[in-house]
Structure 1
Amino acid sequence: MIRVVDFLLALLGLVFGFPVLLLLALIGLFDTGSPIYRQRRVGRNQKPFILVKFRTMHRDTASVASHLASRDAITSFGRFLRRSKLDELPQLWNVLKGDMSLVGPRPCLFSQEELIEARERYGVFRVRPGITGLAQVSGIDMSTPELLAETDRDMLKTLGLGTYFKYILMTLTGKGAGDRVR
């Protein structure tokens, strides 16, 4: 049932959000010269997929987890995108394709071995990664891999349509701070 809801909400979000996506892409083009960022991430059953989002860092920034990136790497427009969480909008395409869900554990990089190991132990990879979830609305990011994996596990134990919509609503109303940057 959640997959059907994911698909419908992502489709509606892309259709009705198209003018906003277009405007943000245009501003991003002037900001970095390349507004869309693609990165290989760990998906369901640890299969790789390409995550799509708006670029918030300079193009020459190393491909590392956000908490390992320098604050100087983020552009001024990127700061706005991150604070407003608008940088995540292109991931609706990932949801529509079935690579992701709106709610689930945030997809990590293949280089985040400690997090991958913990998530594997807790069975987190059996579900699609998500745009938001319990960890995100609780301010827990990838800088604390064990806590993040435990929180993902706890979320999956109680995830149903009610909590699914609860996490989406909490995200839309600004709960959670997003990934820390040093």
Structure 2
Amino acid sequence: MHSIGKGASIPGSQEYRISTFQSAESSTNHGAKIARYLLVKRAADIIIAGVLLVSLFPLFAIIAALIYAYDRKAIFYWQLRVGQDGRLFRFYKFRSMVVNADAIKASLLSRNEATGPIFKMKDDPRITPVGRILRRYSLDELPQLVSVFIGDMSLVGPRPHLPSEIAACPHYPMERLSVPPGLICLREVRGRSLMSFDRWLDSDLEYIRTRSTSTDFSILLRVFRAVVQAEGAY
């Protein structure tokens, strides 16, 4: 039987203490890195969204005039969407459909072309002529820059879903709600409406687990090409 004299240490204890210290130090460094990233991300959201809201104001005015000129109805459309930590917020778009689009939707469900709990139709009869152009180039999403500026959304992050869409998906990953929803997500540069619902969720989880400042700016740069080329848009 071995005895442990004064000043001696249990075999392996020194290695354990070193390992524990390194693990704690690594965790601290990772936490500091995430904190810096979130600070830079929020600052970029405020600055970029603010600049775009001011510089694109003439475009906003033109779009609003075209929508109103078509049918003299509401310019904006809003829904309650699920944000970070499950918090509901108002999600705005330029109206691209007829005003009773939600009421008509029930009669079109059998023609749904999307997978999962979402509804998509390439030739949706509810879309107005003006709305078709807006949706082709994602101009209907521009009002969400206000949500980015005030902090309900971020420039880059998972797109926010409706409460009913989340409720209808038993395997919905709650990790997706751990970050602010985004104006742009990986789906926007990987096929947009052509991507299946499950692949969409997977791409969002991929983003959440690997997100960084360089990743965010890479997605922002790539999305301009995808929007201009109208890849998978309808």
Instruction: Provide structure 1 residue ranges, at least 5 long, that are not aligned to the other structure.
Output: none
Q: CA distance change for structure 1 residues 150 and 115 in 2, over 3 Å: closer, same or farther? A: farther
Q: CA distance change for structure 1 residues 114 and 152 in 2, over 3 Å: closer, same or farther? A: farther
Q: Which amino acid aligns with 2:196?
A: T
Q: CA deviation at 1:173?
A: 1.6
Q: Which residue of 1 aligns with 2:129?
A: 76
Q: Which residue of 2 aligns with 1:46?
A: 86
Higher alpha-carbon deviation: 57-66 or 19-28: 57-66
**Does 1:159 pair with 2:214?**
no
Equivalent residues of 1:134, 1:155 under 8 A apart? yes
Distance 2:81 2:181 in 1: 10
**Does 1:111 pair with 2:164?**
yes
Distance 1:116 1:84 in 2: 32
Q: CA deviation at 1:4?
A: 0.8
Equivalent residues of 1:52, 1:91 under 8 A apart? yes
Cα RMSD after superposing both structures: 2.2
Q: Which amino acid aligns with 2:74?
A: S
**Does 1:124 pair with 2:176?**
yes
Aligned residues: 177
Distance 2:184 2:226 in 1: 12
Aligned match of 1:18 in 51, 57, 65?
Answer: 57
Q: CA deviation at 1:148?
A: 1.7
Equivalent residues of 1:118, 1:146 under 8 A apart? no
**Does 1:60 pair with 2:113?**
no
Distance 1:171 1:91 in 2: 16
Q: CA deviation at 1:46?
A: 1.0
Distance 1:137 1:6 in 2: 19
Distance 2:133 2:223 in 1: 16
Instruction: Provide structure 2 residue ranges, at least 5 long, that are not aligned to the other structure.
Output: 1-39, 106-117
**Does 1:93 pair with 2:132?**
no
Q: Which residue of 2 aligns with 1:150?
A: 202
Instruction: Give TM-score scaled by structure 2 length.
Output: 0.69
Distance 2:134 2:169 in 1: 26
Distance 1:73 1:143 in 2: 22
**Does 1:8 pair with 2:61?**
no
Equivalent residues of 1:36, 1:52 under 8 A apart? yes
Q: CA deviation at 1:67?
A: 1.4
SS in 1 for 2:147: helix
Q: Which residue of 2 aligns with 1:102?
A: 155
Aligned match of 1:172 in 224, 228, 232?
Answer: 224
Q: Which has the larger radius of gyration?
A: 2
Equivalent residues of 1:115, 1:145 under 8 A apart? no
